[in-house]
Amino acid sequence: MLEKLNKKSIKYKLKEGTLENLRRTLGLEGEGTRESPIIIDDLGDVALRLSLRTKGVFLILRNLAISKLSIINSQNITVENCFIGNIELSVCRNLIFTNNTILSIRQVLCKNCLFENNTIMQKEYNRLIHNAHERRTFISVWICLFVGILYTAFAVISIVFLYVTLDTVVFLVSGVLLAIAMLYMLYLRRKVNKMPQNKYINFKLQEKDVLVSSSYLQ
């Protein structure tokens, strides 16, 4: 299955407009509403690389082989009965993953999502439920914030002592922009943490070689 994911891969970068075009092109079911979600179901012996960024469309991915699934700043997406090599989730809510086989998964700032009856490796499961990737990400955020403040302080001290050079201006601009970006990330984390927590139900824990072997048999 991994060979298929690597050799026969079709990449789709889907936002609301391109998702609507794909719906018409492939004759997909659904209108994108809660009552009639767009359904991408069983495209045959084709591995997909999907990048999704959508909030206003209800979407179901079903019975697919997906080498990489990236979902950013999105909601109302359901993924079921799929084999997925790698999942990356960022700033998402109201996602549902059921009955999938997952090799690896990273999530940052995702809340109110449901993971139920999925098969996954033990180490990936531990990282998922302990939110390990997000913790590591925000260690980096704090380090970058410190660097931004340090750059800004260095530039301000240089300006105070009338030692203004191009390097000083670069340090000042870089430090301020970096600090603002990291402060925004911390604000976003605080805001997201007020949302309901993710739910992790009935995982099947296996080793990687077992996951790959079972995928050949499906």
CB atoms within 10 A of CB 202: 10
Query: Rg for the chain (alpha carbons), in Å?
Result: 21
For residues 102 and 5, is the Cβ–Cβ distance under 8 A?
A: no
pLDDT per residue as tens, the chain (218 positions):
444 444 456 676 777 777 777 777 777 878 888 899 989 888 777 778 889 998 888 999 999 999 999 999 999 999 999 999 999 999 999 999 999 999 999 999 999 999 999 999 989 999 999 999 999 999 999 999 999 999 999 889 888 887 778 888 888 999 999 999 999 999 999 998 889 999 999 999 887 655 554 443 34
Chain centroid to CA 20: 21
CB atoms within 10 A of CB 129: 12
Give domain limits for the chain.
2-131+196-217, 133-192
User: In sequence order, which residues have a C-beta less than 8 Å from that of residue 166 and are 6 or more positions away?
Assistant: none
pTM greater than 0.75: yes
For residues 151 and 189, is the Cβ–Cβ distance under 8 A?
A: no
